[in-house]
Structure 1
């Protein structure tokens, strides 16, 4: 199994598990880090659902990362913009520092592997879409 396939499958499994955890136990993360529970846990559960769906996309992309690079690119952008959103809100004192713990496993550890996949796509095919993706 190649490195890209392994990376995307690990990301898929992680995202599905994390999403399931957040949907089924929306207050658990907040209890773990000592934050107050949300007034509207369904918002957090919605985030869990989105993260879980990303996991399905990563699994499908794992079959051919060069062909399904747009899924990887969307995931990579989310892993960049999520931490930027945290910093923006943290600096405005909207969200406590403890919330940053989610960034470690949800975002930071995936930066290099996802970047390497996208770098290879750029090097090998210059962001070309396959014929089936053009339609």
Structure 2
């Protein structure tokens, strides 16, 4: 059985990630200057990050419709959020560590791991209870 909170978490995550992807796509320079604390002004990988975050948002939105049936999309978004920070660290930050990067990593990727894990766990549990 689909719990109402599952759809709520996924819908909030979808809207958040799509909005973040649009910001990254339209303002990559602002993002890279902020996250690198002025060390970088341009990085072509930010556009690919925007595309990836948009795909994550789309997967979360599709999972909102049928969370139990599309539970593997929830797992995929969990893995993408888990590995997304490594992508940003290696390709965008070029192995540079800043306080703003840590804030970004915590607020944009790691904070979503717990709700995504709980949602996927509940979806798999509901499937097994059938």
* TM-score, normalised with respect to structure 2: 0.79
| Cα-Cα RMSD | 2.4
Of 19, 27, 30, 2:29 maps to 27
> C-alpha distance in 2, partners of 1:63/1:77?
20
Give the 4+ runs in structure 1 shifted more than 6 A. none
Of 56, 75, 82, 2:84 maps to 82
**SS of structure 1 residue aligned to 2:28:** coil
* Structure 1 residue 32, shift from structure 2 partner: 3.0
> C-alpha distance in 1, partners of 2:105/2:56?
16
Correspondence 1:106 to 2:90: no
> C-alpha distance in 2, partners of 1:78/1:14?
15
After superposition, give the CA deviation of every residue in 1:32-74 in whole Å (9 maximum; x if it has no partner).
342322543x311111121012111211110111111111101
Aligned residue for 1:64? 66
Per chain length, whose mean CA-contact separation is higher, i.e. which structure has more relative contact order (CA < 8 Å, sep 6+)? 2
Q: How many residues align?
A: 121
> C-alpha distance in 2, partners of 1:53/1:10?
15
> C-alpha distance in 2, partners of 1:26/1:119?
35
> C-alpha distance in 1, partners of 2:78/2:38?
28
Correspondence 1:94 to 2:95: yes
> C-alpha distance in 1, partners of 2:25/2:69?
31
> C-alpha distance in 2, partners of 1:125/1:76?
18
- Unmatched 5+ stretches in structure 2: none
Aligned residue for 1:131? none
Question: Which has the higher Rg, Structure 1 or Structure 2?
Answer: 1
